[in-house]
Structure 1
Amino acid sequence: MPKANKRIIFLIDMQSFYASVEKAENPALRNQPIVVAGDPQRRSGVVLAACPLAKAYGVVTAEALWQAQQKCRQLVVVRPRMEHYLQVSLDITRIFQSFTDQVEPYSIDEQFLDVTGSIHLFGNDPLQLAAEIRQRVWLETGINCRVGIGENKVLAKMACDNFAKKQETGVFWLKREQLADTLWRLPIEKLFGVGSRMKRHFHRMGIYQIGQLAALRPAVLIRHWGVNGEVLWRTAHGMDDSPVSLNEYVTQKGIGHHMTLPRDYHTAKEIKVVLLELCEEVCRRARQKERMGQVLSVGCRGANLAPEEGFGRQMKLAEATNDAMALYEAACCLFDRHWTGGPVRSIGVTLGQLVPDNVVQLNLFTDTPKRRSLAQAMDDIRARFGPDAILRAASALESGQARERARKIGGHYK
C-alpha cells in the first residue's frame, strides 16, 4: 500500500493509438498488419502508427512508408483521420475523469492522472485501480492502454515507457526505493529527457547506464549543462515536484508553426511564399491568444531533413508584434542571412517572448490600428468560413501550401 504522504500518479498510454482506433472500428482489419500513414503521392508517406502485428515485421513509427512496405508485403495502409482521433482522445479523457478530476493530457495518446485524492473510492490499491481503468477503456473504445505508476509524473512516465509496455498486465509501479534494481539498470537513453545527442555526450563521458549518471555529483552535470544537468540528475533519482494540472499549457512560451514540404524547394522566391504563409498562421494564432512576441525564430532543413543541412536562428524584433507582414519582413532577413542556397524540405517559424497584445507602441510611419483592424477582419472571415476562405495572392502560386494545409490537422489530413 502507498504511504499517505506520497502522491499516486498514473501515466496512461494508448497502444499504437491511431492504428488501434482503426482496428477497433473495422473488424476486417483486426488480424491484419496495419499502419496509419500519410499520403505517399505527396512524399509525406511516413508511418504515424503501426499495430503490434506490423511491428512484429520490424515496422517502426516515423519510418518511410516504402520502407515499411518492404518489410511487410501484406501491410495494410490506412490514411489518418486526425479529427476523429482527437474526438476518441477526448472520449478517453472523459473515462479518466470518472476516476479523478485531476487529468492532464500529455499528448493525443498519453494522459497523466493524479488519483491520490480519489483512490480510496476504488479499493485503495493502485494496481487494482490501474487494471480497472484499462478494462473500462478497452470495453468502451476497443483500445488497449498501458499504465505507469509513480509518486510523481516523471516516475509514472518512465514506468510506462520502460516497463509497463513490456508487462502482460500492461501495468508497472516504479518506486523510488527500488530504482537501483529497476531504472538504474537501463541504458542512459532510457532516461526521460535524454535524446540521441545527449546520449552521445554521455557516452563520451563513459556513462552508459542511468545508474552511472545517478552516482555522479549534481555539480558535475551542472558544470556541463547548467540547470538542465540538475534536472537530469533529479530525473535519474525519480525526483519531480510538478503537479498534474489542467492548466499546464496556459503559460505558453512561444507560438510556432512548422511545415514539411511536398518536394524540395530550391529558390528563395518559392521558399518565401511558404515563409509568408507560416508568418500568417503564427500571427493568427497569436492574435487568437491575445499575444504578441518580440523574438522571432526561423529554421529549415535540407533534402534529407538532416539538421546539419539547414539552419536555426533567432533575432529580437524592434518591438513586439503579431502582424504577419512585420514578422515576414524580419523572417526574410533571417532567411537571407543564413540560407546557404541548398534545397529546403522543411521550414518553421516561431514567435517567442510573448506579451499581452493590449498595449501597442504606435509608429509614425506605420498605420498600426488600420493593420490590426485588417488582420482582425481576415481572422473573422476564416473563423466563419474556413482557414482558406481568404488567402494572400502568393498562396495561389504552385509553391503555396495554405490551401492544402487547410485540409489538415497537425500536418495530417482530417
Structure 2
Amino acid sequence: MKMIYGLIDMQSFYASCEVAARPEYACWRTEEDSMSDPPLVVAGDPERRSGIVLAATPTAKAKGVANAMTLGEALGMADNLIVVKPRMELYIETSVRIQQVVQTMFPLYEQFSVDEAFFSFPSPSHLFPDPVEAAQELKGTIWDLFRIRCRIGLAPNKWLAKMTNKLAKKDPSGVVWWTEEDIETKLHPLSVFEMWGLKKRAQVLHDFFGARTIGDVAQIPLYDLQHKFGVWGIVIHRWSHGEDHSLINPDSYDAPHKGISHRTTLPRDFYKRDEVAVVIRELLDEVCRRTRVQGQKGRRVGLSLTYANLKGGFSKARTLTTMSDQSKELYPHLMALLDRWWDKSGVRAVSVSLDQLEASSTLQLDLFEDRTKLRELTRTVDEIKSRFGETSIMRAASLKQAGQLLARSKKIGGHFR
C-alpha cells in the first residue's frame, strides 16, 4: 500500500481571516468564486496610510495590489480598497483551530507554517478510497467551519506535494493530484524557475547549465551538480526526478532550532549610528534569551539592514571562535558588521540572527571574566521577563526615542494584536 502526501495552504490567509470575521460580506461570498470577496488588504496603519501590504484578497490582487507593496502604492491602484490593521491574535487563533481540524481528519500530520500543513494517508484504503475526494472533504470542511478557502496538492512525496499545491492555486477545483506516472509528463515540462526551494540556484541552473525546464535539470549528470552546488547538488538531482525521501514529522515545531532571528520594521528611517545600535541591542537581547530558553548556543551572528522604502540594504554574518548565548559577548561583533557594511543610508528595518546552534551543555571559562557570574545574571533576568513580561526589566537605552522595545511588546509577530 502506498502513502499519499498532501499539502494544504490557506488562500491569502490574513486577508481571508479579516473578510470571514466581517458579517457584512457573508451574504455574497462563495467558496467557488474567490472574486466574491471584497477588495481588502491587511496593512500597517490605515489611518496614516503608511506601511506595507501583508495580505490581499484575490479581488484586490486583480487590481494590481501585491504583498509587500507599500500601502500608498496599493491605494493608487484601487481607490475603493478596504484597508484594515493586522490582528495577529485573530490569525494565530484561527491557525491553531484549522491545524486541529487537519490533524483530526489526517492524524499523520506536520504543521509547515501558520497557514500550511503536510499530511499523509494510505491509498487505496478503506478510509481513503479516493484521494481527491478526501482532499475535497477537508477543503469543504475548512470552508464550512471558517469561511476560508484553501488549496491542496497531492503527490507521492512532500516535495511533489509542494509542487502540486502551487498548481492547485490556479486550478478551479482547488485540488491537484500527481502520481509517479505524471513526473515526466507534468513535472519535467515546467520551467526550472518553478522548482520549489531552489531560490537563486534556479538562476544558476539556467545560466550555467542552460536548463530551461525541470526535465533539462534531470538530464544534468549528478557529478556536475555536486561539483557546482555541493550537497545541494544531490537534493536538486533528486527533486528533478520527482524524488524526496523526507517523512512527515509531527514534532517538527518541537525540534531544536538551527538558527534564531528577530526582525523589526522601524516607524521612520534611522540615520544615526546610536539609534540603530539601540535597536540592534534590543533585538540581540531577545535572540539570546530565546536561544537560552532552547538550551542552545550559537557560533555565527548575523545582521541585516533594510533601507528606506524597504529597498536595498545588506545581510552579513560573522563566525566566531567560540559558542555564545550572551548579548554582551555578541554585541561588539554586530557593531563591527554595522560599521563595515552600512553606507549610512536611512535604515527602515533591522534583523539580528544567531545560528550554527548547538546544545549548551558546557560553560567555557575565561581568564579575564567571570562567566559563571554572567550566566547567573542572565538566568535571573530571563526568569523575571518570563514571569512579568519582556518590559519588566530592560536597558535604559530602550527608553530613548530610538527604542522599540515598548512598542514591540504590544505586538504579536511584529504586528498589533
| Shared fold per TM-score greater than 0.5 | yes
Superposed displacement of residue 304, structure 1: 4.8
Superposed displacement of residue 154, structure 1: 0.3
Specify the code of the residue in structure 1 equivalent to 2:320.
Answer: K
1:331 paired residue number: 334
Cα distance between partner residues in 1 of 2:49 and 2:57: 22
The 8 Å contact of residues 318 and 333 in structure 2, kept in 1 or not, is answered as no
Most deviating of 146-155 and 98-107:
98-107
Partner of 1:310, secondary structure, is strand
Cα distance between partner residues in 1 of 2:354 and 2:224: 34
* Residue-by-residue CA offset, 1:144-175 (whole Å, 9 max, x unaligned): 111100111001111011x2112221100122
Specify the code of the residue in structure 2 equivalent to 1:128.
Answer: E
Cα distance between partner residues in 2 of 1:35 and 1:284: 34
2:191 paired residue number: 187
1:23 paired residue number: 19
Specify the code of the residue in structure 2 equivalent to 1:10.
Answer: G
Select the residue among 273, 278, 290 that pairs with 1:268. Answer: 273
Specify the code of the residue in structure 2 equivalent to 1:302.
Answer: Y
Partner of 2:308, secondary structure, is coil
Most deviating of 264-273 and 151-160:
264-273
1:283 paired residue number: 288
Change (3 A) 1:268 1:43: farther
1:155 paired residue number: 160
Select the residue among 358, 364, 382 that pairs with 1:361. Answer: 364
2:171 paired residue number: 167
2:29 paired residue number: none
Unaligned 5+ runs, structure 2? 27-36
Select the residue among 342, 347, 363 that pairs with 1:344. Answer: 347
Select the residue among 141, 146, 161 that pairs with 2:146. Answer: 141
* Residue-by-residue CA offset, 1:101-158 (whole Å, 9 max, x unaligned): 22111111110001238x7353421111101111111111111111100111001111
* Residue-by-residue CA offset, 1:268-322 (whole Å, 9 max, x unaligned): 2111111111110011101111111222222323335445x424131214x3221
Specify the code of the residue in structure 2 equivalent to 1:16.
Answer: S
- Say yes or no: does 1:7 pair with 2:3: yes
Cα distance between partner residues in 2 of 1:208 and 1:241: 25
Specify the code of the residue in structure 2 equivalent to 1:27.
Answer: P
Specify the code of the residue in structure 2 equivalent to 1:80.
Answer: P
Specify the code of the residue in structure 2 equivalent to 1:350.
Answer: S
Specify the code of the residue in structure 2 equivalent to 1:95.
Answer: V
Cα distance between partner residues in 2 of 1:304 and 1:22: 26
Select the residue among 227, 230, 246 that pairs with 2:250. Answer: 246
Cα distance between partner residues in 1 of 2:317 and 2:367: 30
Partner of 2:3, secondary structure, is coil
Most deviating of 53-62 and 355-364:
355-364
Superposed displacement of residue 244, structure 1: 0.8
Unaligned 5+ runs, structure 1? none
- Say yes or no: does 1:371 pair with 2:374: yes
1:114 paired residue number: 120
2:31 paired residue number: none
- Say yes or no: does 1:295 pair with 2:300: yes
The 8 Å contact of residues 300 and 348 in structure 1, kept in 2 or not, is answered as yes
2:80 paired residue number: 74
Superposed displacement of residue 242, structure 1: 0.5
Partner of 1:278, secondary structure, is helix
Specify the code of the residue in structure 2 equivalent to 1:28.
Answer: E
Superposed displacement of residue 40, structure 1: 5.8
Partner of 2:250, secondary structure, is coil
- Equivalent residue pairs, number: 405
Partner of 1:32, secondary structure, is coil
Partner of 2:153, secondary structure, is strand
**Normalised TM-score (structure 1):** 0.91
- Say yes or no: does 1:131 pair with 2:136: yes
Specify the code of the residue in structure 1 equivalent to 2:122.
Answer: T
- Say yes or no: does 1:50 pair with 2:53: no
Select the residue among 214, 221, 226 that pairs with 1:217. Answer: 221
Select the residue among 20, 23, 32 that pairs with 2:38. Answer: 32
Partner of 2:181, secondary structure, is helix
Cα distance between partner residues in 1 of 2:172 and 2:262: 39
1:391 paired residue number: 394
Cα distance between partner residues in 2 of 1:224 and 1:37: 41
**How much identity, in percent, do the aligned residues show?**
39
Specify the code of the residue in structure 2 equivalent to 1:383.
Answer: S
The 8 Å contact of residues 151 and 175 in structure 1, kept in 2 or not, is answered as yes
2:232 paired residue number: 228
Specify the code of the residue in structure 2 equivalent to 1:76.
Answer: I
Partner of 2:129, secondary structure, is coil
The 8 Å contact of residues 49 and 71 in structure 2, kept in 1 or not, is answered as no
Partner of 2:349, secondary structure, is strand
The 8 Å contact of residues 44 and 262 in structure 1, kept in 2 or not, is answered as no
* Residue-by-residue CA offset, 1:306-343 (whole Å, 9 max, x unaligned): 45x424131214x3221221121222233223333333
Cα distance between partner residues in 1 of 2:267 and 2:233: 38
Partner of 1:104, secondary structure, is strand
2:90 paired residue number: 84
